[in-house]
Amino acid sequence: MTNQELLAVFARLGVLQTGHFELTSGLHSEQYMQCARLFEYPREASDVVEALQAQLPEGIETVIAPAIGGITVGYELARLLGCRFIFAERQENKMAFRRGFTLTVGERVLAVEDVVTTGGSVREVVELARVSGAEVLGVATIVDRSQGQADFGVPFYPLMSTEIRVFDPEQCPLCEAGVALQSPGSRKTDLR
């Protein structure tokens, strides 16, 4: 799938949204990729995740993801790969494996996120895997909007890259214009 084909699918399904958004990172944007909307349509979601799977390395034993955005894409990717899936969630403001999820020394894992803007949440999950002694084969995402800035210290496999402008809240033209702010992400930050 090309970027243009993916953007057409995302526009049709309501994944690509326009407005004034506060991102999980605390930055503001005039566009938002709500990948959760993709998973309202299992056939289309499966096609998109299959396209992501096609570029991944061999030997993945476990897919790991940060809650909440990475859960659906991580689960679907693990299903397609025929491997195990676990996720991390916030506990006392840090990502942690809970619910009895663990990794073993040498376990070959791939970290997955739906959208990467700064990469903070998935970077925390990669670090959890490293601390567990797992071998991190890489990070995969449906959408990379980091403009090439995300660095995880392992290979990065974005299905698509897109440039969506982001603004520091103190210098946001949408705030200055009085456009209502939405916080559609899974974690609210209050940087103001």
Give residue 186's pLDDT band: very low, low, confident or very high (50, 70, 90).
Answer: low
Percent of the chain as helix, strand, coil, to the nearest 5: 30, 30, 40
CATH of the domain at 35: 3.40.50.2020
| Residue 165, both tokens | 């402008």
Q: What is the pLDDT of residue 163?
A: 82
* Pairwise CA distance, residues 109 & 126, whole Å: 9
Contact 62, 83 (CB under 8 A): yes
The string of pLDDT tens digits covering residues 101-148 is 999 999 999 999 998 888 889 999 999 999 999 999 999 999 998 888
Helix axes 69-81, 42-53, angle to 10 degrees: 70
Q: State the pLDDT at residue 35.
A: 87
pLDDT band at 181 (very low <50, low <70, confident <90, very high): very high
- Give the model's pLDDT for residue 189: 40
83 in a domain, yes or no?
Answer: yes
Residue 18 maps to a domain: yes
If you compute the radius of gyration of the chain from its CA atoms, what whole number of angstroms results?
Answer: 16
* pLDDT for 15 beyond 70: yes
SS3 73: helix
Does residue 10 lie in a domain region?
yes
CA end-to-end distance (rounded Å), the chain: 39
User: Does the bond joining 68 to the residue before it have cis omega, within 30 degrees of 0?
Assistant: yes
* pLDDT tens column, 159-180: 998 888 889 999 999 999 999 9
pTM: 0.84
Segment 26-40 shows an average pLDDT of: 89
> Taking 60 as the threshold, does the pLDDT of residue 190 lie above it?
no
Q: Do β-strands 135-144 and 108-116 pair in parallel, antiparallel, or remain unpaired?
A: parallel
| 45: Cβ contacts below 8 Å, ≥ 6 apart | 38, 39, 72, 76
Residue 122 in any domain: the answer is yes
Residue 192 has a pLDDT of 28
Contact 139, 126 (CB under 8 A): yes
Give the pair of three-digit tokens for residue 121.
């949440």
Question: 119 lies in which domain range?
Answer: 3-176
- Is 183 part of any domain? no
C-alpha torsion sign, points 154, 97, 72, 7: negative
Residue 181 domain-assigned (yes or no): no
Q: Is the dihedral of CA 115, 117, 119, 120 positive or negative?
A: negative
**37 lies in some domain:** yes
Give me the chain's average pLDDT, please.
90
Lowest mean pLDDT among 7-11, 89-93, 135-139, 162-166: 162-166
Instruction: Tell me if 141 is assigned to some domain.
Output: yes
Domains contained in the chain, number: 1
